[in-house]
Amino acid sequence: MTNTVLLVGNLGTDPETRSTRGETRVTTLSLGTSRPKRDHEGKTFKDANGYTAKETEWHRITCFNGLGKTVAQYATKGMLVSVRGRIHYSKWTDREGVERYGCEIIAEDVQFLSRGKSASGGEPSGQNDIDDDLPF
């Protein structure tokens, strides 16, 4: 048996990074995926502008250590990314004694499918482009 999920979507925010007491780097991001909206008969329909109406779902993605560092360094809001990982469910009791449940994707691999902004906030520079160094 396996627990594997593959999501492709756009980042809703810039990644956020924190460290645990044990110095583990934890980077979280919000990933939006879309699918066509359907009516009560199961048919897709158009919005007021004539485009197929979409429903967006938001997924909480968690990256650890080196992967988290790379994602925090290069990923920005709006980028198209692919995330491969596993679904993780959590259960805890909050300060008011209420049992809470959560779901997140623990990322094993993140692929950047579009370019983000460079560290200076402008358009990407060619410095980090691996393809630029190829002889062909």
Per-position pLDDT tens, the chain of length 136: 899 999 999 999 999 999 989 989 999 999 999 999 888 898 898 888 989 999 999 999 999 999 999 999 999 999 999 999 999 999 999 999 999 999 999 999 999 999 865 544 444 443 334 344 444 3
In a domain, 116, yes or no: yes
CATH classification at residue 114: 2.40.50.140
In a domain, 130, yes or no: no
pTM for this predicted structure: 0.76
Buried-state track 82-112, b at ≥16 Cβ within 10 A, e below 16: ebebeeeeeeeeeeeeeeeeeebbebeebeb
Q: Which of 69, 74, 61, 71 is nearest to 9 (CA)?
A: 61
What's the sign of the alpha-carbon dihedral 11, 16, 21, 23?
positive
In a domain, 109, yes or no: yes
Q: How many domains does the chain have?
A: 1
Q: How far apart are CA 15 and CA 76, in angstroms?
A: 7
Helix (H) or strand (E) holding 59: strand 54-64
